[in-house]
């Protein structure tokens, strides 16, 4: 870890669903992970990877050994570090240049053919500082196959099965490359069951926690997101009070989000550190004491219905998560939206703004 530099992604040598995967930011947290999260041995090594901060993308393709059909590229709302099953996926991608799309198409074709893939293959990418990296390649069906088949109209499972049986894609009318995108915007929105899983932390990370997914479709991304949030059970409040308590690394990024919430008619409540960062930018905020400051004001405010939205990101590492865990669990128990990724918060704001009517005094 010292050699490749922190933060690093640590995980057992073989996992499904990101089980026991974690991003660690320093040696103390790495040592804690090794003590508490896994049992390491020569037969069960722990892998340490450099963690790239960037935009994550996903591709499902079909290959018959020659032709590589790419029905679509899915762009994740949440940046790398959140499990793909817990991320909001968007088709077609809204923020990729033609050059990046061409690079992803080229890499997908070369990988599928190079591995002699027969059937389905899922490839996950990350774009970090303008460079496209491959995170992993899975020569199998992925959870996004039903979504991509539905939105593109391409029967991916059927075509892959025929390919495995020896039929050729070109004989079925398909050719190598990325299929042109359909009109409209589609989002794959994860569904969580945190209210039924009493001791599970709701914070998003490399370990998958969602239990289902839905599709939202409309003419643009904000409207599709709004439908997705509603269908997934997120109660999108039109106005109210937002509690903001974020880690130091997120304090600068939270400022424009707070301003947009205020423009929607929200009142901002924040813990001491977050409140100071917002006040320094001229944002009106009520400061509330943290739980570890011997106060239950936050939990009482959530229970009493005085908080309508929670934005809470975890401090780097896991040594200071007690407050955050209690806040997140209290929000879930009271059916209050709790966002643990600022990318998800940005998506929710887009959805809220698309249905919001701005009030302006025209008497001046």
Q: Is residue 116 included in any domain, yes or no? A: yes
Instruction: Assess whether 109 and 148 both reside in one domain.
Output: yes
Q: Is residue 314 included in any domain, yes or no? A: yes
Last residue of a domain, one of 147, 170, 186: 186
Q: Is residue 205 included in any domain, yes or no? A: no
Instruction: Assess whether 117 and 37 both reside in one domain.
Output: no
Q: Is pLDDT of 302 > 90?
A: yes
The stretch 340-352 carries a mean pLDDT of: 94
Residue 49's pLDDT is 84
In which domain, by residue range, is 294 found?
235-364
Q: Is residue 31 included in any domain, yes or no? A: yes
pLDDT tens for residues 165-200? Answer: 999 999 999 999 999 998 999 999 999 988 888 778
Task: Give the pair of three-digit tokens for residue 152.
Answer: 């593109």
Residue 355's pLDDT is 78
The stretch 267-287 carries a mean pLDDT of: 95
Helix 145-152 with 156-164: angle, nearest 10 deg: 110
Beta-sheet pairing, 22-24 with 131-138? unpaired
**pLDDT band at residue 361, thresholds of 50, 70 and 90?**
low
User: How far apart are the C-alpha atoms of 179 and 11, rounded to whole Å?
Assistant: 35
Report percent pLDDT > 70 for the chain: 90
Task: Count how many domains the chain has.
Answer: 3
CATH classification at residue 267: 3.40.50.1380
User: How far apart are the C-alpha atoms of 283 and 272, rounded to whole Å?
Assistant: 14
Q: What are phi and psi of 260, to 5 degrees?
A: -70, -35
Instruction: Assess whether 29 and 91 both reside in one domain.
Output: no
User: How far apart are the C-alpha atoms of 364 and 361, rounded to whole Å?
Assistant: 7
**pLDDT band at residue 201, thresholds of 50, 70 and 90?**
confident
Given phi > 0 = left and psi -120 to 50 = alpha, else beta, which region is 196? alpha
Instruction: Assess whether 70 and 163 both reside in one domain.
Output: yes
> Where is average pLDDT lowest: 191-205, 217-231, 318-332?
318-332
Q: Is pLDDT of 17 > 60?
A: no
The stretch 81-91 carries a mean pLDDT of: 92
Instruction: Assess whether 145 and 109 both reside in one domain.
Output: yes
The stretch 263-274 carries a mean pLDDT of: 94
Last residue of a domain, one of 147, 169, 186: 186
Residue 122: CB partners within 8 Å, gap ≥ 6?
58, 59, 60, 61, 137, 138, 140, 141, 142, 144
Residue 321's pLDDT is 53
Q: Is pLDDT of 296 > 80?
A: no
Instruction: Assess whether 40 and 115 both reside in one domain.
Output: no
Q: Is residue 226 included in any domain, yes or no? A: no
Residue 320's pLDDT is 43
Residue 336 in 3-state DSSP? coil
Instruction: Assess whether 89 and 107 both reside in one domain.
Output: yes
Last residue of a domain, one of 165, 186, 207: 186
**pLDDT band at residue 319, thresholds of 50, 70 and 90?**
very low
Residue 110's pLDDT is 98
Residue 44's pLDDT is 74
Instruction: Assess whether 253 and 146 both reside in one domain.
Output: no
Instruction: Assess whether 248 and 337 both reside in one domain.
Output: yes
**pLDDT band at residue 279, thresholds of 50, 70 and 90?**
very high
Q: Is pLDDT of 76 > 80?
A: yes
Task: Pick 362 or 154 by higher pLDDT.
Answer: 154
Instruction: Report the candidate in 254, 288, 284, 286 with the shortest Cα–Cα distance to residue 271.
Output: 288
Residue 25's pLDDT is 79
Residue 211: CB partners within 8 Å, gap ≥ 6?
191, 192, 193
Instruction: Assess whether 31 and 64 both reside in one domain.
Output: no
The stretch 267-286 carries a mean pLDDT of: 95
Residue 317's pLDDT is 47
Residue 46's pLDDT is 83
Q: Is pLDDT of 266 > 80?
A: yes
Beta-sheet pairing, 266-270 with 240-245? parallel
Residue 2's pLDDT is 81
Instruction: Assess whether 329 and 282 both reside in one domain.
Output: yes
Give whichever of 141-145, 191-195, 234-238, 357-361 has the largest mean pLDDT: 141-145
Q: Are 56 and 63 in contact (CB under 8 A)?
A: no
Instruction: Assess whether 257 and 335 both reside in one domain.
Output: yes
> Where is average pLDDT lowest: 220-229, 315-324, 327-336?
315-324
The distance from CA 294 to its chain's CA centroid, rounded to whole angstroms, is 33
Q: What's the mean pLDDT when you consider all of the chain?
A: 89
Q: Is residue 195 included in any domain, yes or no? A: no
Task: Pick 56 or 80 by higher pLDDT.
Answer: 56
Q: What are phi and psi of 83, to 5 degrees?
A: -55, 140
Residue 325 in 3-state DSSP? helix
pLDDT tens for residues 98-125? Answer: 999 999 999 999 999 999 999 999 999 9
Q: Is residue 194 included in any domain, yes or no? A: no
Q: Is residue 100 included in any domain, yes or no? A: yes
């Amino acid at each position: 870890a010292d050699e490749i530099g922190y933060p690093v992604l640590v995980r057992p040598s073989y996992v499904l669903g990101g089980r026991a995967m974690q991003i660690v930011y320093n040696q103390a947290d790495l040592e804690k992970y090794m003590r508490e999260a896994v049992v390491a041995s020569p037969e069960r090594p722990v892998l340490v990877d450099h963690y790239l901060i960037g935009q994550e993308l996903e591709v499902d393709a079909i290959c018959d050994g020659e032709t590589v059909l790419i029905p679509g590229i899915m762009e994740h709302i949440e940046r790398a570090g959140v499990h793909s099953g817990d991320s909001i996926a968007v088709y077609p991608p809204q923020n990729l240049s033609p050059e990046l799309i061409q690079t992803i198409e080229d890499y997908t074709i070369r990988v599928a053919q190079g591995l002699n893939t027969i059937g389905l293959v899922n490839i996950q990418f990350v774009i970090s500082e303008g460079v496209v990296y491959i995170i992993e390649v899975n020569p199998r069906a992925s959870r996004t196959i039903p979504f991509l088949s539905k939105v593109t109209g391409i029967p991916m499972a059927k075509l892959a099965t025929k390919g495995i049986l020896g039929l050729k894609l070109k004989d079925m009318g398909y050719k190598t490359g990325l299929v042109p995108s359909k009109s409209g915007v589609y989002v794959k929105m994860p569904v969580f069951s945190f209210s039924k899983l009493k001791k599970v932390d709701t914070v998003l990370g490399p370990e998958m926690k969602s239990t289902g997914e839905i599709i939202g479709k409309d003419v643009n991304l904000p409207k599709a997101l709004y439908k997705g949030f509603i269908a997934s059970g997120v109660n999108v409040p039109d106005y109210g009070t937002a509690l903001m308590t974020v880690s130091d690394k997120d304090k600068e990024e939270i400022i424009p989000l707070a301003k947009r919430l205020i423009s929607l008619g929200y009142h901002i409540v924040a813990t001491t550190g977050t409140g100071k960062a917002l006040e320094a930018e001229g944002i009106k905020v009520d400061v509330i004491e943290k739980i570890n400051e011997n106060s239950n004001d936050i939990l009482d405010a959530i229970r009493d219905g005085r908080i309508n939205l929670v934005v809470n990101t975890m401090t780097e590492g896991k040594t200071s998560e007690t407050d955050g865990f209690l806040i997140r669990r209290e929000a879930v128990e009271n059916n209050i939206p709790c966002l643990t990724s600022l990318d998800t918060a940005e998506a929710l704001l887009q959805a809220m703004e698309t249905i919001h009517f701005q009030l302006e005094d025209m008497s001046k």
